[in-house]
Structure formats: structure tokens, C-alpha cells
């Protein structure tokens, strides 16, 4: 069976092919031009997806040594994400499925991230704890199977990646914030400043907006006209990053202490953060659990994870009409986790 998948929820256009269970193409085109605006501009994102999706499909097919006629199932991200951006991939995929008269499978983007560990050689073992950290979501999930996910906790305000991006902006580090903060933190000393880690009534929930405000207050109080010396900027980045990592590690440890968990998986764009990868790897080792952290190409947005998730849904017998519309009301209604 050859499964084709398309991802276009934000600023990455991606097309992947899984052939008889093996990933044979995962092409990702990142929209670097958003750097000029300090963040993703939704309208420009949609236009760029429209321009690149067809050439990317052609390249993915040629890399897979397949033609469109060989494709049996088509998947596409249906949300959550930027609506205009999603519509490009979704409509393209539906049109293809219709013209080829093959099944179409809409995929929840977060569920794509959740199961992205299965793209690795060593796969997560059910039930596993998924630590989902992306630009839009921060979730602790107990994943029992390919059909059952139990939500343990989530952020009550900003997502972890969003906090990275906003703090990077405050520090004048630019966009995207995550990698820039990580780089600055490598040259900083996290002991020089301490930022608070919120501890909420629900032990599995997160809050990053207070941390973000603490950084802002500290910068306003300590530096005139926002002129921050390099060493101070690096220290703030290190301390901020450490606070985020402590919050994530603390809640993940609470989950390990309270639930039957076989393995861990750290997924989503922020899973690219090396000190976070190290912290959760250490946590897993302390609890004698296996941890699966996807390779970098599967951490950020990519079609491989969408294709895998769609394939599993299809294999479990799920079928969708081509008239399926994920946005009849407000898009948040369709985030099922
Ligand atoms: O999963 P993703 O690619 O897109 C969403 O679904 O949101 O995640 C993007 C987020 C951005 O906020 C970006 O700053 C963050 O992942 N990120 C990182 C790193 N690389 C990307 N955050 C911390 N450290 C990194 N190295
Ligand atoms: Zn994502």
C-alpha cells in the first residue's frame, strides 16, 4: 500500500510517501521569509503553500520512484492550524483523491506529532507518555493505543514554543525563537537570574505566561531602552530555557509517578531543543523507562507524521467522505484530544 500525505498547517509545506510501511519520501519546504516580519504572516503562508505544493508533490513522487497511479490513500492535515494554510493542502489532497478515485483521510496535526515517534527505528511502547511541545500546544498525554489518547494536562495560557518565540522577540533575538534562545543559552549562565516556574492546582497543567512576563519585567527593570549586553542576554535565555525545562520535566515526572507508563515520547517543534531532550532522557533513565525522541526532521512540522497517522486511521477501518469539512464552525471545535 502506498500512502501519500500533505502537511500545510503553518509555515512548512511538506509531502511524504509511506510505501508498504516504509517512509520513502519526506520533503519539507520551510517558509523562511516570515523572518522579515518577526512571525508567521498567515496570508503569506497560504500563498506560499499554493506555490510550492505541486512541485513538492512531483519531487516526492520521483524520490519514491512512484507515479500518482500507484498511490492508494491520500492524507492531509485538517487542523489545528492557520485556516488559509490548511485549506491549501486539504483542498489539494481532496482534489487528488477525487481525480484518482481513492480514499482521503483528514489528520489531526497534534495526533500527527503524538505518534511521530513511530517513524523511528525504536518505537514507543503503549501505554506511553507523550510530552507534546509545539508552537501552539503543550500537552501531557497518556497514549494507550492508536485509537485511545487520555489527556492528563495542558497549558492554561501560552504554549511552550510560543513562550520561546515571544521571549526571543523581547531579547531581540528574532524569529523563530526556539533555536535562537537555545543558541544564546549555550553561552549563558542560568544561575545569574532566576525566573519562577508556575505550579498550578492541577499537577499536570502548565502556565508559561507568568514566566514570559517575569522576563519582560526583568528586562524593563534592568536595561535602559531595551539595550541588553550580549552576556546578559545569554544569561536570561539560559535561565528562561531552564525554567521551561523544569516545568516540563516536573510534570512528566508526576505523570510517571501516577500512571502505568511503559515508555516516554517527546514530540513537537520544541522537542528539537537539546537541553530539553537531555532532561527528559535523564528523567526516563531515572525511572528505567525507554524514551523515544524523533529525529529533527520529524520534530518540526512534517508530512511523514501526518502520513503515518493517516495510514493508521485507514488501517483501523476509518473512512471519510470527500465532502468531509473539518471547519463547519469554529476550528477549535475540531481539536479532538
Ligand atoms: O511543531 P512546530 O514545528 O509547529 C507547531 O505545530 O506549532 O513547533 C514550532 C515551535 C516554534 O515555537 C519554535 O520556536 C519551536 O517549535 N522550536 C524550538 C526549537 N526549535 C523549534 N523551541 C526550543 N528550542 C528549539 N531548538
Ligand atoms: Zn506542529
Cα diameter, the chain: 64
Which atom from ligand 1 is nearest to the alpha carbon of 162? 12
pLDDT at residue 111 above 80?
Answer: yes
- pLDDT tens by residue, 118-145: 999 999 999 999 999 999 999 999 999 9
Q: What is the pTM of this model?
A: 0.94
User: Is the CB of 270 within 6 Å of ligand 1?
Assistant: yes
Question: Probe ligand 1: pick from 115, 135, 169, 208, max atoms within 8 Å of CB?
Answer: 135
Residues of the chain with pLDDT > 70, as a percent, come to 97
Q: Which of 51, 42, 54 is nearest to 6 (CA)?
A: 54
- pLDDT tens by residue, 250-302: 999 999 999 999 999 999 999 999 999 999 999 999 999 999 999 999 999 99
Kindly report each contact of residues 61-64 with a partner whose C-beta sits within 8 Å and lies 24 or more positions away, as own/partner.
61/17, 61/25, 63/17, 63/24, 63/25, 63/27, 64/2, 64/17, 64/19, 64/24, 64/25
Domains of the chain: 2-113+300-334 (3.30.420.40), 121-293 (3.30.420.40)
State the burial class of residue 91 (Cβ atoms within 10 Å of its Cβ: 0-12, 13-18, 19+): middle
pLDDT (mean) for 184-213? 96
Question: Probe ligand 1: pick from 138, 164, 208, 278, max atoms within 8 Å of CB?
Answer: 164
pLDDT at residue 218 above 60?
Answer: yes
User: Is the CB of 268 within 6 Å of ligand 1?
Assistant: yes
User: Is the CB of 273 within 6 Å of ligand 1?
Assistant: yes
Say if residues 206 and 198 touch (Cβ distance below 8 Å). yes
pLDDT (mean) for 173-182? 94
Of 51-55, 111-115, 310-314, 320-324, minimum mean pLDDT range: 320-324
User: Is the CB of 301 within 6 Å of ligand 1?
Assistant: yes
C-alpha cell at 196: 519562577
Going by C-beta distance under 8 Å and a sequence separation of 6 or more, which residues neighbour residue 235? Answer: 188, 189, 190, 192, 193
Q: How many residues does the chain have?
A: 337
Q: What is the mean pLDDT of the chain?
A: 95
The residue nearest atom 22 of ligand 1, judged by CA position, is 178
Q: Which of 249, 304, 256 is nearest to 64 (CA)?
A: 304
C-alpha cell at 192: 545569574
User: Is the CB of 177 within 6 Å of ligand 1?
Assistant: yes
Ligand 1 centre to CA of 111 (Å) is: 16
C-alpha cell at 67: 507515479
User: Is the CB of 272 within 6 Å of ligand 1?
Assistant: yes
State the burial class of residue 287 (Cβ atoms within 10 Å of its Cβ: 0-12, 13-18, 19+): middle
Which atom from ligand 1 is nearest to the alpha carbon of 161? 12
What is the predicted pLDDT for the residue at 331? 55
Rounded to whole angstroms, what are the CA distances from 21 to 312, 315, 324? 10, 11, 26
- Category of 301 on φ-ψ map: left (φ > 0), alpha (ψ -120 to 50) or beta: beta
User: Is the CB of 261 within 6 Å of ligand 1?
Assistant: no
What is the predicted pLDDT for the residue at 287? 98
| Backbone phi and psi for residue 274, each to the nearest 5 degrees, phi listed first | -60, -50
State the burial class of residue 62 (Cβ atoms within 10 Å of its Cβ: 0-12, 13-18, 19+): exposed
Going by C-beta distance under 8 Å and a sequence separation of 6 or more, which residues neighbour residue 196? Answer: 210, 211, 214, 243
pLDDT at residue 60 above 70?
Answer: yes
- pLDDT tens by residue, 28-53: 999 999 989 888 999 999 999 999 99
Amino acid at each position: 500500500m502506498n500512502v501519500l500525505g500533505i502537511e500545510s498547517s503553518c509555515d512548512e509545506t511538506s509531502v511524504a510517501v509511506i510505501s508498504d510501511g516504509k517512509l520513502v519520501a519526506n520533503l519539507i519546504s520551510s517558509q523562511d521569509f516570515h523572518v522579515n516580519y518577526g512571525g508567521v504572516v498567515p496570508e503569506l503562508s497560504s500563498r506560499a503553500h499554493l506555490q510550492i505544493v505541486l512541485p513538492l508533490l512531483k519531487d516526492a513522487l520521483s524520490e519514491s520512484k512512484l507515479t500518482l497511479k500507484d498511490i492508494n490513500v491520500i492524507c492531509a492535515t485538517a487542523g489545528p492550524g492557520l485556516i488559509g494554510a490548511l485549506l491549501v493542502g486539504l483542498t489539494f489532497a481532496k482534489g487528488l483523491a477525487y481525480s484518482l478515485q481513492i480514499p482521503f483521510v483528514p489528520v489531526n496535526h497534534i495526533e500527527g506529532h503524538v505518534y511521530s515517534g513511530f517513524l523511528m527505528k525504536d518505537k514507543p511502547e503503549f501505554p506511553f507518555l507523550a510530552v507534546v511541545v509545539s508552537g501552539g500546544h503543550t500537552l501531557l498525554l497518556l497514549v494507550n493505543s492508536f485509537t485511545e489518547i487520555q489527556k492528563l494536562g495542558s497549558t492554561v495560557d501560552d504554549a511552550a514554543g510560543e513562550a520561546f518565540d515571544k521571549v526571543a522577540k523581547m531579547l531581540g533575538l528574532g524569529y523563530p525563537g526556539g533555536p535562537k534562545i537555545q543558541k544564546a543559552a549555550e553561552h549563558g549562565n542560568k544561575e545569574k537570574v532566576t525566573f519562577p516556574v508556575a505550579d498550578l492546582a492541577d499537577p499536570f497543567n502548565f502556565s508559561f505566561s507568568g514566566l514570559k512576563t517575569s522576563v519582560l519585567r526583568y528586562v524593563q527593570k534592568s536595561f535602559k531602552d531595551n539595550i541588553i549586553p550580549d552576556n546578559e542576554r545569554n544569561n536570561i535565555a539560559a535561565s528562561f530555557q531552564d525554567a521551561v525545562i523544569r516545568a516540563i520535566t516536573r510534570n512528566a515526572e508526576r505523570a510517571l509517578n501516577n500512571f502505568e507508563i511503559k515508555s516516554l515520547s517527546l514530540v513537537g517543534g520544541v522537542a528539537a531543543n537539546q537541553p530539553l531532550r537531555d532532561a527528559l532522557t535523564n528523567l526516563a533513565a531515572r525511572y528505567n523507562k525507554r524514551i523515544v525522541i524523533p529525529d529533527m526532521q520529524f520534530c518540526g512540522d512534517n508530512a511523514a507524521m501526518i502520513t503515518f497517522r493517516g495510514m493508521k486511521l485507514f488501517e483501523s477501518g476509518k473512512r471519510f467522505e470527500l465532502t468531509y469539512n473539518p471547519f463547519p464552525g469554529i476550528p477549535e471545535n475540531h481539536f479532538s484530544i
